[in-house]
Amino acid sequence: MAEINSLEELGAATAAQNAEQEAAPVHVQKLDAHGRAYATGKRKNAIARVWVKPGSGKITVNGKEFAAYFARPVLQMILQQPIVAADRNGQYDVVATVVGGGLSGQAGAVRHGISKALTHYEPELRGVLKKGGFLTRDSRVVERKKYGRAKARRSFQFSKR
């Protein structure tokens, strides 16, 4: 009887450990050979490839300073949101290449990429960025045009006579 109790206790302890491991997934740091974290960000039709490494806080988009590439202050603010939310201003250099879409979609794609790359570099930032909604890919895209319609939903003007 004593052996059965100890086996049951052992089984219960093992089950508790397994449940604990399943409940909290372990996020590990993912770096390339150069010590950078890489991530892909997407928004609308824009796709951004983003590399994050420790540095002075310089952000480069397609070979230009981000303020020169994204001239509107709103887009510059969007780009910096995950870094500000994570309280990592001036700690990381960001290099991004972005293609497709317009400026707004590209800024959103770079923001998404920066957020994902930050979590690859510092997994403990995941909670803060997730709460801010920066890790979620904004899936809204332009609706396609349908036949028999002027645009996606707009009908041609009706004429009674």
Q: pLDDT tens across 95-120, in order?
A: 999 999 999 999 999 999 999 999 99
Can you give the chain as a three-state secondary structure string?
Answer: CHHHHHHHHHHHHHHHHHHHHHHCCCCCCCCCCCCCEEEEEEECCEEEEEEEEECCCCEEECCEEHHHHCCCHHHHHHHHHHHHHCCCCCCEEEEEEEECCCHHHHHHHHHHHHHHHHHHHCHHHHHHHHHHCCCCCCCCCCCCCCCCCCCCCCCCCCCCC
- At 143, is the pLDDT very low, low, confident or very high (cuts 50, 70, 90)? very high
Q: What is the pLDDT averaged over residues 122-130?
A: 93
pLDDT for 19: 56
Q: Going from the N-terminus, what domains does the chain have, and what CATH number goes with each?
A: 37-132 (3.30.230.10)
pTM of the entire predicted model: 0.80
